[in-house]
Amino acid sequence: MQYLPRPARTRFPLSLLTLAVLLASGPGHAEDATTLDTVTVIGHDTESYASGRASVGGFGEAPLLDTPASISVFNQALLKDQQARLLSDVLKNDASTGEAYAPVGYYENFEIRGYSLNAASSYKINGRTITGEQNVALENKEQVEVLKGLSGLQSGVSEPGGVINYVTKRPQDVRSVTLGTDDEGGRYVATDVGAWLDSEQTVGVRVNLAHDDLRSYIDHTDGQRDFASLALDWNLSPNALWQFDAEYQNRRQPSAPGYQLLGGAQLPHDIDPHDRIGYQSWADPVRIESLNLNTRFEYRFDDAWTGTLSASRSKVVIDDYSAFPWGCYGAASCADSAVPNYFSPEGDYDLYDFRSPDDTRRNDELEAALHGQFATGWLRHELTVGTSAFRRVLDSRPELNEWVGTGNIYTGIGAVEPFDGEPGHSYRHLDSRQYGLFASDRLSFNDQWQVVLGGRQVRLDERTFDSEGDTTRHTRRAEFLPNGAVIFKPRADISIYGSYSKGLSLGGEAPWFASNAGDTLAPTSSRQVELGIKQELAGFDWSAALFQIHQAYQFARPNGDGSFTYVQQGQQKNSGLELSASGRVTSALQLSGSLAAIRSRVVNSGTDDYEGHQAINVPRLRASLQADYALAEVPGLSLLGAARYSGAKYADRDGAVEVGGYTVYDAGARFSTRIGDYPTVLRLSVDNLFDKRYWRDVGEYFGDGYLFQGAPRTARLTASVNF
């Protein structure tokens, strides 16, 4: 593939400055200058970063104060001010979350509370599960919700870390256009148009469109993104509402592979974050095409009882043609290792021609529920009962992964010839089905005491197939997942809770280098205990939570002969403290922050080297703080700032290679004005203000360890015009 010459890097590109001048400047002083429309400055944006409600914690939207779980909500005001385009831009605000294999140009993976999320079940739109192998667009999202901890009651089979839920914008009268650029010369345009089609607001529509010319800070990883979404609301009667959402995205961008430990024991040094290792001109951009459909019907029988029926389909097709650096089988210094899945001590790596076209993943889900309120004597009930069905299928062609040459992280690699061959025909790899019955009852004894009792009966039926269509594995599992909580409200604005929950997760798949490569282990159970407190003050909310989670430990166990066997043995126990606060401190200053202290340990694994220290890629302490200050001296101008801290963490399961902690500072500004008759908001954001060098992600992916550097200093500028 041919690449355009890369523009020279500047501290702040001319195109970015030009956009600011054109949109924000007043009339020029030259005598022959054209008179522009009057620019009127308006007061500062009063939107708060605090959000008091979320739907991810149960079976419908509820106040956070009444939800016995640790939940973070990032609303549209924060997404706009931080110019978020990826989920990583959002989750950097939550200290309990981290990246778990998130290369530039590929779909991102995350962990919550030290446990990796599962792309099959950990991500939702409007409460319905989507395929996680996509970078979900944010242009049509009202807010992003993060449920931290077990979600067996809400999701069935899922990972213990938590669930991420995107909430879409609903129809309203809105018309806006956003133009943007960045310090790499990228170009961005997005529109948000909505209206009610009649005066009674019976039928409403909202459309979001976006185009993004992606200019990455990493060489040879520029790309494009196109997005379109539609939201419909139809009030069929005063008691009946039908909603529909559709969104399509086509993202094309070369992926930037990660580094690996040198000799399996040392971090690479003096690495330029702009370098793309292993670049070859014949490697094509990774293409990720996604379609998410979601519909919901709600009928109110009376003031106490409501029924809902919802369905969704989420489909992702990935075409991956990459030049991928991995391992050091071709290096003399790695000859004595049975599995050298790392770079050589000198920085040598093997380069592979990796091809995985037509990789198709599809999730289908259906749920019916009944919600009601009633009393049995003096005891008040809020009851939800329902049933659900979920199916996930994977269709793909056999991967082609062939060695084509050797390079070095310091001296680079010349042009090598791609492998002469093609992947085989597509076939169905996986057909996974889940069926569930669930119920939850909130019992209110008085204004102070509540008990929430619930559970989900899950039945899992999963098959895998070979290229001939023969079944290679058939997993059946039925389990009851209980959930219970006690809530005490000493005052109307304070909630203290304790909860217990049980979860069920899919077993892991043995990596290619294990003696049982390709085998999928049995599903595993997890358990969580949590204590928390929340308070809602006037415009300011804060919360604290203590938690402990246990899950079976899955890993490639070293054998005496240098080989590995993938097993479930022992447990990973994560316990921690979470603090969060958000809201206005004064009329001019609002803050949003979080802190997470997590102790993650492996016990009873039978492998002493993996025990007695923090688990891989989980720092003991993370913190995040965002600030928004409105300058009284300049009406309409607000200064934005943020700081993110991560403590040291290990880059290997042995705990032998420690990656240092880091603090990154961001800065920005928002200027609300009026150009002619059009309200306009200019936003500037500068991330990593002091150009800090650090390793942001040092975890494992399918058994192999990868190292990803944090982005250098980057800047974005957007102008949003309402018309």
What confidence tens digit (pLDDT) does each residue in 357-384 have? 999 999 999 999 999 999 999 999 999 9
Instruction: Count the residues in the chain.
Output: 723
CA distance readout (Å), 659 to 93, 108, 555, 694, 707: 21, 21, 21, 9, 10
The answer as to whether 350 is a domain residue is no
The answer as to whether 92 is a domain residue is yes
Across 56-60, 109-113, 328-332, 508-512, least confident range: 56-60
**Per residue in 86-136, pLDDT tens?**
999 999 999 999 999 999 999 999 999 999 999 999 999 999 999 999 999
Task: With a cut of 90, say whether residue 24 has pLDDT above it.
Answer: no
Query: In degrees rounded to 5, what are phi and psi of residue 67?
Result: -105, 115
The answer as to whether 5 is a domain residue is no
The answer as to whether 560 is a domain residue is yes
DSSP three-state, residue 416 = coil
d(CA 393, CA 649): 36
The answer as to whether 348 is a domain residue is no
Across 12-21, 49-58, 187-196, 692-701, least confident range: 12-21
d(CA 64, CA 542): 11
Domain range holding 112?
14-27+37-275+289-334+356-421+431-722
Task: With a cut of 50, say whether residue 547 has pLDDT above it.
Answer: yes
pLDDT above 90: percentage of residues in the chain? 86
Mean pLDDT value across residues 421-436: 95
pLDDT for res 9: 40
The answer as to whether 342 is a domain residue is no
pLDDT bin (cut points 50, 70, 90) of residue 46 is low
The answer as to whether 262 is a domain residue is yes
Nearest to 517 by CA among 467, 563, 570, 569: 563
Mean pLDDT value across residues 23-51: 48
Contact indicator for 473, 464 with CB cutoff of 8 Å:
yes
Please enumerate in sequence order all residues whose Cβ is within 8 A of that of 5, keeping only pairs 6 or more positions apart, or say none: none
Task: With a cut of 50, say whether residue 2 has pLDDT above it.
Answer: no
Mean pLDDT of the chain, nearest integer: 92
pLDDT for res 59: 67
pLDDT bin (cut points 50, 70, 90) of residue 58 is low
pLDDT bin (cut points 50, 70, 90) of residue 394 is very high
pLDDT for res 708: 98
Q: Which two tokens stand for residue 211?
A: 């185009």
pLDDT above 70: percentage of residues in the chain? 93
Q: Which long-range contacts (CB under 8 A, 24 or more apart) does 334-340 make?
A: 334/263, 337/264, 337/562, 338/561, 338/562, 338/563, 339/513, 339/562, 339/563, 339/564, 340/264
**Per residue in 152-166, pLDDT tens?**
998 899 999 999 999
Three-state SS annotation for 689-723 = CCCCCCEEECCEECCEECEEECCCCEEEEEEEEEC
pLDDT bin (cut points 50, 70, 90) of residue 562 is confident
Task: With a cut of 70, say whether residue 43 has pLDDT above it.
Answer: no
Phi/psi class of residue 642: alpha, beta or left (left: φ > 0; alpha: ψ in -120 to 50)? beta
CATH at 263? 2.40.170.20
Count helices and strands (H / E) in the chain.
4, 40
Our count of domains for the chain comes to 1
The answer as to whether 282 is a domain residue is no
Strand partners, 370: 307, 385
Mean pLDDT value across residues 445-460: 96
Across 65-79, 301-315, 615-629, least confident range: 65-79
Task: With a cut of 70, say whether residue 28 has pLDDT above it.
Answer: no
d(CA 304, CA 583): 33
pLDDT for res 177: 98
Task: With a cut of 70, say whether residue 45 has pLDDT above it.
Answer: no
Across 53-62, 177-186, 656-665, least confident range: 53-62
